[in-house]
Amino acid sequence: MILTIDIGTSNFKMALFEVQGPKAGTMVEGSLVKIPMSINENETDPAQWTEAFANGIRQIAGQCGHVQIATIAAILISGNGPTLVPVTASGAAMARHWLDRRAVEEGKTVSQLFGTFVDPSFFLPKILYIKNRESELYQKTEHFLSSSEYLAYYLSGNARMVLAGKTFEKWYWNDEVLDKAGFSGSEKDKFPAFIAPGEEIGEVLPELAGQFGLAQGVKVFAGGPDFLLSILGTGCAEPGDACDRSGTSEGINLCTEQYIDDKRLFSYEHPVKPFWNLSGIISTSGKAISWTRRLLGITPPEEYNKFYNLAAQAKAGGNGAIFLPYLAGERAPVWNPDAHAVFSGLSLHDSPAELARAACEGVCYSIRDVITVMEADGASVTAMRVTGGPSESDFLNQLKADVSGKPVLLPELEEAELLGLAVIGSVALGEYTNFGEAAKKMVRIKKVYTANVHTKSVYDDGFARYKELYKKLYL
C-alpha cells in the first residue's frame, strides 16, 4: 500500500493506493481526504501541513480502518509550485508560496547568472530576497526546502530537494550559480542535496510511525513538483500528449520527442524517458474564474456549477467581450509581472452571463496562447488530458476543446497528482520497470470532448482580439 500526499494551494490531499494484485494502481475506496488550506497574499504557515497530515491519517483510519494504515509500505509527496520554506532550528518560518513575486530585482540577478529568464517566484530569487532584506531569518535558516520536501523532512528527518533532471536547475540552483551569486562556505549548507523522483529520502521516524499507527521502516520516496506528477497521473507518456493541469493556476505540459528552446516556455526532461516536456505556466486561470464568481456575488465556493450555468446562458463569444486573466501578472507566454486583468468590449447590452462567459473564455484563450507557441515551435498537440478542480466542469472542458480546437480527455481519476505519485511509488517498489509503463497501465480515460466546428470562426476571431488587446496595452 502507498500513501500519497499532494500539498495544493487550496487543499491538502491524501489517499491510499493498491500496488499489488488485480487492483494495482487503484485508489482505496474511502481513503481520499481533502483538507482546506489557507494562505495570505505572499505567505502560508507550514504548520498547517503537518497538522493536515495528522488529521488526514486519522480520517483515513476512521474511514478505512487502522489495519490499512499499518499496511502502508511507502509515502510519496508532491507540492505546489516553487513554494519556499525556510527551516530554522526552532521550526519552519512562514513559507513563501508560488504567488509571491516580490523578488523582482533578485529575479533579474538570477536570470543574468543563468543566462535565461528566471521568474521572481522561483526558489533562488526568493532565497536572495531573504538574504538581502531579511538577514536575521537568513542567518537562522538551516535548510531551504519546498512544501513537499518540508513534509518529507518532518517525517524522515532528512533534508532533500527533488530535482527531476539537470534542465530543472534554473527553477532551483546549481553550484556554479551559487558561487556567482555570492553564497560561500557554510552558506551552501542551507541548500539541500538534490534527489531524483523515486529515490529514497529515508524512513519515517520511529516516534512518528508509532504516533500515527504506521509500521516501523515505512519508506519515504521522493515525489516531485505537482506538475510532474500530473503528467504521469494523466497518462501523458507519448509525444503529442498534453497535460492541462488546472487549479488556481494552469500548467500546460506537452510530451515532445526533442528539446525545444523557446524563452517563452520551459523545456526539460520528461519523466518518461527519452522524451522532453515543453511547458507553459499560466498564473491565474481557476483563480480568475473564482474571482469573477465572487465579483458577480455567486457564493459560497461550491456554487461553481451555478457560475458555469450562468456562463452557458451567453452565446459563444458573448457579445464580443474579451477578458485578459492577468490578475497576478502573467507567466507563459508573455512573462510580464506588470500585466493586469482587463474586461474589454462591454456594452449596456451585456449581463452577468456575458461577464461569466468572457472570464471562462479568457482562461481558454490563455491556454490556446500557450499551445499556439508550442506548435509554432514545431511541436504537435494531439490532445489535452485535463486534471484539477476545474476539470469537474463539463462546460469548461467542452469550452477548452472548442477554443483550442483540440480533443480534451478526462481521466477516470481526477486526482492526477496522487495517481502520479502512485505511479512513481509503484516503480520504486519494483511493481513496474519504468514510469511510462506504469502510467499507461494505471491511467484510464472516461470521457472525450471534441471541438464544436460551428464555433471555430467565433473563437478564431476572439483569440485574435485577445492577442491584439494585450499588444495594445502592454507592447
| In a shared domain, residues 353 and 277 | yes
User: Mutual orientation of helices 104-114 and 123-133 as an angle, nearest 10°?
Assistant: 120
Burial of residue 338, with CB atoms counted within 10 A of its CB: 0-12 exposed, 13-18 middle, 19 or more buried: exposed
Domain boundary among 217, 249, 283: 217
| In a shared domain, residues 185 and 308 | no
**Residue 432 within a domain:** no
**Residue 437 within a domain:** no
Give the total residue count for the chain: 475
Q: What is the domain extent for residue 85?
A: 2-217
Express each pLDDT in 232-266 by its tens digit. 999 999 999 999 999 888 999 999 999 999 989 98
| In a shared domain, residues 234 and 162 | no
**Residue 423 within a domain:** no
| In a shared domain, residues 196 and 265 | no
| In a shared domain, residues 250 and 332 | yes
Domain boundary among 168, 193, 217: 217
| In a shared domain, residues 187 and 257 | no
Alpha-carbon distances, residue 337 vs 121, 179, 282, 440 (angstroms): 10, 27, 12, 38
pLDDT recorded at residue 167: 87
Q: Which residues of the chain have pLDDT under 70?
A: none
Closest CA to 283 of 387, 366, 374, 169: 366
pLDDT recorded at residue 352: 97
pLDDT recorded at residue 247: 84
Report the CATH number that the domain containing residue 263 is assigned in CATH.
3.30.420.40
| In a shared domain, residues 172 and 297 | no
> What pTM was estimated for this model as a whole?
0.86
| In a shared domain, residues 326 and 386 | yes
Count structural domains, the chain. 2
pLDDT recorded at residue 389: 86
**Residue 404 within a domain:** yes
| The three cell numbers locating residue 55 | 488529521
pLDDT recorded at residue 346: 96
| In a shared domain, residues 211 and 252 | no
**Residue 457 within a domain:** yes
State the residue for C-alpha cell 456575488. 297
**Residue 438 within a domain:** no
| In a shared domain, residues 117 and 194 | yes
| In a shared domain, residues 134 and 206 | yes
**Residue 190 within a domain:** yes
**Residue 302 within a domain:** yes
Domain boundary among 176, 201, 217: 217
| In a shared domain, residues 229 and 212 | no
